[in-house]
């Protein structure tokens, strides 16, 4: 693992970079530098994360927009105690685009260390490693591996949407997966990528890569999700919905679970729905879905990241709703309006479990 990470860092720096002095492994090193990296060392590790409930964890800042690690720790432990399968660090909710490279790596390591120190070694840590260039995405993947993540979630670049053709999108994800020392997943969220919306045929084509092991579909398109699940094997390629308002529906279409922002507020509730579905108690699972759906929609109307933080602060008493500029502090009028009733219902259900 460490060898591969070091090689990726040097390879990403471009041709002519001095090779790392790794005694006894020079022949392997030379072979890797003579040709594109195609998982020659770590391909055996290319397994998807287990199905279940994951959270794209929000992070917290103080009044100076510095990382508030005390609140981040409190949040991580509340989520872990909710029975989650895994935590996504630096997804869209985790403000990856607002963090420096060092901060991104620091938060991933802090997450893994916090979970391990409190007996949650079984919880998977996935790191968001998308970037605006292929080169930088490769570096983020290497950083994530060093920091303790087991998988990467890779967002498609979106600075020049008209020029991100199907061919360029596929090439980007393949090249990042070739270089990554840990398995990658494809992230589709058009609202964040300036409208770039990967269709099912792109995701299915990428699923054949030996180091691309899954996708998070935050487009809410159940038809797309179903097309991908019937074209892939869950043992090799997992398909997660990124929206809690279609969590139950996605399970009927073969999804591996959810990685949704509302899980930040109600981890136990999502795990309960997951368990009910697995037990064949569909009617009871759908009753929980009736509570989750309206709340997830309300989050999308009230600042998303800042809205999640505001509800967490009000219901559980920690963290600020501050988001790094330019998003800043969101409007929180919804906290005192009738629209907040849907969050009260979720919070009450969460506390009852």
Q: Kindly report, residue by residue over 60-83, the tens digit of the pLDDT.
A: 999 999 999 999 999 999 999 999
Residues 107 and 75: beta-carbon distance below 8 Å: no
| Domain with 23 in it | 1-35
- Amino acid 17: pLDDT: 42
Q: Examine the domain organization and report whether 193 and 250 are in the same domain.
A: yes
Split into its structural domains, the chain has a count of 2
Q: Examine the domain organization and report whether 3 and 110 are in the same domain.
A: no
- Amino acid 350: pLDDT: 98
Is 108 domain-assigned?
yes
- Amino acid 42: pLDDT: 43
Residues 141 and 180: beta-carbon distance below 8 Å: yes
Specify the pTM: 0.87
Is 102 domain-assigned?
yes
Query: Mean pLDDT over residues 55-60, rounded?
Result: 98
Q: Examine the domain organization and report whether 132 and 115 are in the same domain.
A: yes
Q: What share of the chain is helix, strand, coil (3-state, %, to 5)?
A: 50, 10, 40
Is 195 domain-assigned?
yes
Q: Examine the domain organization and report whether 99 and 204 are in the same domain.
A: yes
Q: Examine the domain organization and report whether 30 and 54 are in the same domain.
A: no
Answer with the residue of higher pLDDT: 218 or 7: 218
Answer with the residue of higher pLDDT: 304 or 61: 61
Percent of the chain with pLDDT over 70: 87
Q: Examine the domain organization and report whether 169 and 208 are in the same domain.
A: yes
Q: Examine the domain organization and report whether 253 and 144 are in the same domain.
A: yes
Residue of 109, 138, 216, 224 marked catalytic: 216
Is 333 domain-assigned?
no
Is 88 domain-assigned?
yes
The rounded distance, in Å, linking the Cα atoms of 27 and 180 is 20
Q: Examine the domain organization and report whether 167 and 112 are in the same domain.
A: yes
Output DSSP code: residue 156: P
Domain boundary among 280, 298, 329: 280
Residue indicated by tokens 């992070």: 59
pLDDT band at 330 (very low <50, low <70, confident <90, very high): confident
Q: Examine the domain organization and report whether 2 and 124 are in the same domain.
A: no
Q: Is 268 a catalytic residue?
A: no
Output DSSP code: residue 331: P
Q: Examine the domain organization and report whether 20 and 48 are in the same domain.
A: no
Residue 268 has pLDDT above 50, yes or no: yes
The torsion of the CA quartet 240, 242, 247, 253, rounded to 10 degrees, works out to: -40
Short-list 152, 156, 240, CA closest to 191 = 156
pLDDT band at 22 (very low <50, low <70, confident <90, very high): very low
pLDDT band at 26 (very low <50, low <70, confident <90, very high): very low
Is 119 domain-assigned?
yes
- Amino acid 46: pLDDT: 87
- Amino acid 219: pLDDT: 96
Helix (H) or strand (E) holding 86: strand 86-89
Q: Examine the domain organization and report whether 235 and 145 are in the same domain.
A: yes
pLDDT band at 331 (very low <50, low <70, confident <90, very high): confident
Q: Examine the domain organization and report whether 86 and 148 are in the same domain.
A: yes
Q: Mean pLDDT across the chain, nearest whole number?
A: 89
DSSP helix/strand/coil, 83: coil
């Amino acid at each position: 693992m460490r060898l591969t990470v070091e090689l990726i860092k040097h390879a990403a720096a471009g041709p002519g970079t001095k090779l790392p002095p790794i005694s006894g492994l020079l022949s392997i090193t030379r072979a890797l530098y003579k040709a594109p990296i195609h998982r020659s060392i770590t391909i055996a590790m290319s397994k998807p994360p287990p199905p279940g409930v994951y959270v794209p964890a929000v992070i917290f800042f103080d009044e100076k927009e510095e990382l508030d690690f005390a609140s981040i720790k409190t949040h991580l432990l509340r989520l872990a105690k909710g029975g989650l399968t895994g935590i996504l660090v630096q997804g869209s909710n985790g403000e990856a685009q607002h963090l420096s490279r060092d901060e991104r790596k620091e938060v991933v390591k802090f997450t893994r260390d916090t979970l391990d120190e409190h007996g949650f070694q079984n919880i998977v840590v996935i790191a968001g490693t998308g970037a605006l260039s292929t080169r930088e995405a490769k570096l983020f993947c290497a950083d994530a591996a060093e920091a303790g993540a087991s998988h990467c979630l890779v967002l498609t670049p979106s600075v020049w949407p008209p020029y991100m053709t199907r061919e360029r999108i596929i090439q980007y994800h393949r090249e990042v997966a070739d270089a990554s020392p840990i398995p990658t997943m494809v992230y589709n969220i058009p609202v964040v990528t300036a409208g770039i919306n990967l269709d099912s045929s792109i995701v299915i084509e990428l699923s054949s890569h030996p180091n691309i092991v899954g996708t998070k579909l935050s487009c809410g398109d159940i038809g797309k999700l179903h097309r991908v699940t019937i074209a892939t094997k869950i043992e090799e390629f997992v398909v997660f919905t990124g929206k809690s308002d279609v969590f139950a529906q996605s399970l009927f279409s073969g999804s591996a679970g959810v990685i949704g922002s509302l899980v930040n507020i109600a981890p136990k509730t999502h795990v309960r729905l997951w368990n009910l579905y697995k037990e064949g108690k569909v009617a009871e699972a759908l009753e929980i879905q009736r509570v989750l759906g309206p709340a997830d929609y309300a989050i999308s109307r009230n600042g998303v990241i800042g809205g999640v933080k505001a509800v967490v602060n009000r219901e559980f008493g920690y963290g600020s709703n501050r988001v790094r500029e330019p998003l800043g502090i969101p409007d929180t009028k919804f906290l005192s309006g009738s629209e907040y009733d849907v969050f009260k219902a979720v919070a009450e259900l969460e506390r009852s479990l």
